[in-house]
């Protein structure tokens, strides 16, 4: 296990630094993203469907005059669909300078962890989540948190697909 930690240490240069994560729920599991990437968390507004886009693109919303694309995380991760409820939130994230919204089941809290707590993700991940965007796993006494790097979620190819369609 110690050996396996090494690559993580190199990628996460902040070895013992405290990292703040926003944790959210998706189909029973808890995930975390870097708090600095999250611009805001909003309730579901009216979403305008955009035709001829990948199925996980829910559409676009009007965020105070800015048009922001919305991705459904459940669809993206290949999870079954549920009705939006009171807990459903959109996390608006800064993706390399552009805003993008992600629909999640619920947003719970901001947690602090030290960089050394991050472990590499196990080789097998169920549910069709791209291995690439999983930055690591945080294994605490009472919870298991999957650390996501959403910027990696859209591979180069996928972005080209987006723009080249």
Partner 1 sequence: MPPIDCEDQELLDGFLTETTELLEKLDDDLVALEKSSDDTDLMNRIFRSIHTIKGASSFLGFDLLVKVAHKTEDVLNRLRKKELFVTSEIMDVILEATDLIKLLVADIKAGDIQERETEGTIAKLLPLLTEIPTPPPVVTKEPEVAAAPVQAAEPPPATSQQVTPEQGTVTEAATPTASTKVTADAAPTAAPTAPTPPAASAMPVAKPTTAVAPKKTAPPKPVESKGGEDLSDNSTVRVDVKRLDDLMNQVGELVLERNRMIQINQDLQQNNVNRNDFNEEFGKLTKRMSFVTSELQMQVLKMRMIPVEKVFKKFPRIVRSMSRDLGKEVDLQIIGEETELDRSVVDEIGDPLIHLIRNAMDHGLESPEERLAAGKSRCGTLVLAAVHEGNQIIISIKDDGRGIDTDRVGRKAIEKGLISEEQFTSMGQREIFDLLFLPGFSTKDKTTDLSGRGVGMDVVKTNIKKLNGLIEIKSIKDVGSEFILRLPLTLAIIQSLLVEVEGEIYSIPLSSVLETIRVDQRKFHLIGGQEVLKLRDIVLPLIRLQKVFNVQPRGETEHFCYVVVVGAAEKRMGLVVTRLVGQQEVAIKSLGNYLANIPGIAGSTILGDGRVALIIDPVAMSESCE
State the residues that interact with partner 1 by CB under 8 A: 45-46, 48-53, 57, 59-62, 65-69, 95, 98-100, 154, 159, 162-165
For the CB of residue 91, give the shortest distance to partner 1 in the complex, in Å: 16
Cα distance between residue 77 and residue 67, in whole Å: 24
> In whole angstroms, how far apart are CA 100 and each of 60, 144, 162?
9, 26, 14
CB of 143 to partner 1, least distance (A): 32
Joined tokens for residue 161: 């697909």
> Residue 147 Cβ, how far from partner 1 at the closest point, in Å?
23
Q: Is 84 helix (H, G, I), strand (E, B) or coil?
A: coil
Beta pairing partners, 94: 99
Min dist CB 101 to partner 1, Å, is 11
Q: In this complex, which beta carbon is closest to partner 1, that of residue 62 or of residue 139? A: 62
Contact 92, 86 (CB under 8 A): no
Q: Which is nearer to partner 1, 47 or 118 (CB)?
A: 47
SS3 state of residue 52: coil
Nearer to partner 1, 16 or 52 (CB): 52
Q: Give whichever of 16 and 97 is closer to partner 1, judged by the CB atom.
A: 97
Task: Check if the beta carbon of residue 22 is closer than 8 Å to that of residue 107.
Answer: yes
């Amino acid at each position: 296990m110690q050996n396996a930690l090494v690559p993580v240490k190199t990628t996460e240069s902040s070895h013992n630094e405290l990292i703040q994560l926003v944790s959210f729920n998706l189909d029973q599991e808890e995930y975390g993203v870097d708090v600095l990437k999250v611009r805001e968390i909003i309730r579901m507004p009216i979403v305008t469907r955009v035709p001829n886009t990948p199925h996980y693109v829910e559409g676009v919303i009007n965020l105070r005059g800015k048009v922001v694309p919305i991705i459904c995380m459940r669809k993206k991760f290949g999870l079954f669909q549920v009705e939006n409820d009171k807990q459903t939130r959109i996390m608006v994230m800064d993706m390399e300078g552009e805003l993008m919204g992600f629909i999640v089941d619920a947003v719970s809290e901001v947690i602090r962890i030290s960089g050394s707590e991050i472990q590499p993700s196990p080789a097998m991940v169920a549910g069709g989540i791209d291995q690439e965007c999983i930055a690591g796993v945080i294994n605490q006494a009472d919870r298991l948190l999957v650390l996501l790097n959403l910027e990696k979620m859209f591979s180069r190819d996928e972005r080209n697909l987006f723009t080249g369609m």
